[in-house]
Structure 1
Amino acid sequence: MIGNRYAKKPRSKDEGEKPFWISFADLMTALMTLFLVVMAVSLMVVTKKINEATQAEKERSSEILDICTSIKDDLTLKNQLITVDCRENRINFGEAGRFGHNDYRLNSEGIQALSALVPVVLEAANSENGKKWFKQIVIEGFTDTDGSYLYNLNLSLRRSEWVMCSLLDPTFNQELTLTNEQKNQIKQLFLAGGVSFNAAKDSKEASRRVELRMQFYGLKEKDSAEAQPIFVSAPIETCQLAR
């Protein structure tokens, strides 16, 4: 009897394993909780960055719209045939910006409209928002569909070059008086380009035209953009196109 009283009770097979499995379950719970916390923090950081980028893009778009609107609403352009499209950031001269068939010379009305527009554009480019976002203005020459593509490409380039000549060659446009600083800014800001007949209008007369396309820096583009070249003005700029 005494021996039986102190006899060891048999242990179940998994009794020694229970503490181990309980600790492992607690560990998994802790790891899962930590994972959820890390995921929640990561989502908050990503969401914050997206919201900041969205807000920055909204501010950029608003400031660019202010630049374009300041050009569009300028009183000196009210009596001109100029149309400023702030949705596409394009400036159209209407009938004043049209050319004759196979001709690259801008008419007198176009020269007059250009003389009124350029000081307004330079003023907008020198504003606080303009210095921040204004990248360049592309002078785009267009043609009708008569002739070959390469012929019209050359013709469209000469039309845009004629506009540039009207800005820099004093013999082209005596109504436009610019300082050397303004002329240097035109060389940095304006870019002549031809589009041939890729954007033809409904009529051939309307297709033979010139337009200005305003380009602006993106959010990250401004910081990585190369410095603008500094041009040394010649005593007198001379256009190379035949008059």
Structure 2
Amino acid sequence: MRKKRRSEDGGFNIWRSYSDMMAGVLLLFVLIMCVTLFQAQKSYDDSLKERDEKIALQETYTEELLEKQKTLDEQAGTLKSQDEQIKSKDETIKSQDEKLSSLAERLTEQQKTLEEQQKTLKEQQKKLASQKKKLSAQQDTLEEQQSALDEKTELLATQQQKIDKIIGVKAEVVEALQKEFSKKNLNVDIDSQTGALTLNANVMFDYDQAELTDSGKMTLSMVLPTYCKVLLADSYKKYLGEIIIDGYTDTDGDYSYNLELSQKRSLAVAQYLLDIEGDFLKDKQIQELQDCLTVNGHSMSDPVLDADGNVDKDASRRVEVKFRLKDEEMIQELNKIMQADGTSESKNSKAGTDKKAKKDDSKDSSTDSGSAKSDSKNN
């Protein structure tokens, strides 16, 4: 009986030991689990804390990135604006480059022109220097000529009276004619400038005729003696060059026919003058009249115009008696004066200038003489 209890007690001790061991293991396991859970909780808390820190850091980074993005956007806008400005400036620079290129070409051309002008200027400066030398010499000559001019001015002042006398001869003759006709109460048409005596052809001739009428002869017998006696008077005959009788017609008809008619009429007046010259002139004066008497026919040329500019046919049919003074003698007198002046001037001039002055004086004299001859024919 005792043996059996021992075996039962031994089995009970094994299982008790096993249960103690398992309880110890379970306790260890629980302890491990607690430690593991504690560590896991700690790790989880650390993880949450780290996550929160990361989230906070991420938010900070995000804000910074947003600010940087905004800054970048602003910079991008600024860069875009600057890029547009740069493009505009590039276009402006390109345009300015083209202008500069054009200006450079023009500048090159102007430089060439300037060089040519400088070359020309140098040549002109050389010429100017030469001209200054000539001017200096001319100045000396001018001073000498001024002295001669002063002397010539004094000479001209004394000679002016002679010139006035020569020029005033015609005016004196015209005045003498007017006084003589007025003294005899003869109403005649005498030009106050030229002394021309106009006779109406309608009074002296029948229409289209060249034979003097009785009234025409009567008119001529009154005016021609007075006209010729004044011109052949001792005071004026030495200046008298010609007594001219000119015939004119109106503008009707043929020129050749009118030329013949005007010549016949002027010749009829001249012939009548020669017929009666012995009644009022001395033998010497008769010869002088015949020597200076000239007859011309002018046909329809030089017609008389009325106030409206139309041809006055009645007035155009006329005979004019006029005179020409001896222009040659007047010109010779003037030439003497000019030669006297030239002699005074030549004393202060060079020999070459003297020759040229004499040559010019001779040309002037021949020209004046030719003009006087031409006037004698035309008048």
TM-score, structure 1 as length reference: 0.65
Residues 84-134 of structure 1: CA deviation (Å, up to 9, x unaligned): 223122112347755332211233233223222333233323334412321
How far 1:186 moved relative to its partner? Answer: 2.3
Alignment-derived partner of residue 204 in structure 1: 313
Moved over 6 A (4+): 30-33, 222-225
Alignment-derived partner of residue 296 in structure 2: 193
How far 1:46 moved relative to its partner? Answer: 5.2
Secondary structure in 1 matching 2:262: helix
Alignment-derived partner of residue 107 in structure 1: 213
Paired letter, 1:194: G
Residues 123-182 of structure 1: CA deviation (Å, up to 9, x unaligned): 323334412321111100111112211111111110010011112236xx99x5555434
Q: For the Cα contact (< 8 Å) 1:141–1:209, is it kept in 2?
A: yes
Paired letter, 1:143: T
Q: For the Cα contact (< 8 Å) 1:98–1:208, is it kept in 2?
A: no
Pairing 1:131–2:208 present: no
Cα pair distance change 1:181/1:43, threshold 3 Å: closer
Q: For the Cα contact (< 8 Å) 1:77–1:117, is it kept in 2?
A: no
Residues 32-59 of structure 1: CA deviation (Å, up to 9, x unaligned): 8753431212433554566567544421
Structure 1: distance between partners of 2:264 and 2:319 = 11
Secondary structure in 1 matching 2:320: strand
Cα pair distance change 1:88/1:109, threshold 3 Å: same
When structure 1 is superposed on structure 2, of 106-115 and 82-91 the one drifting more is 106-115
Structure 2: distance between partners of 1:122 and 1:43 = 44
Paired letter, 1:148: D
Cα pair distance change 1:115/1:85, threshold 3 Å: same
Q: Aligned residues, how many?
A: 194
Structure 2: distance between partners of 1:32 and 1:184 = 57
The sequence identity of aligned pairs, in percent, is 24
The structure number with the bigger radius of gyration is 2
Q: For the Cα contact (< 8 Å) 1:99–1:209, is it kept in 2?
A: no
Structure 2: distance between partners of 1:45 and 1:69 = 36
TM-score, structure 2 as length reference: 0.44
Q: CA RMSD in A?
A: 3.5
Structure 2: distance between partners of 1:188 and 1:165 = 14
Pairing 1:143–2:249 present: yes
Paired letter, 2:331: K
Residues 192-222 of structure 1: CA deviation (Å, up to 9, x unaligned): 1111111222432222211112111221258
Secondary structure in 2 matching 1:131: coil
Paired letter, 1:197: M
Paired letter, 2:218: Q
Structure 2: distance between partners of 1:95 and 1:78 = 23
Structure 1 residues 144-163: aligned runs within 5 Å: 144-163=250-269
Cα pair distance change 1:31/1:97, threshold 3 Å: same
Pairing 1:217–2:326 present: yes
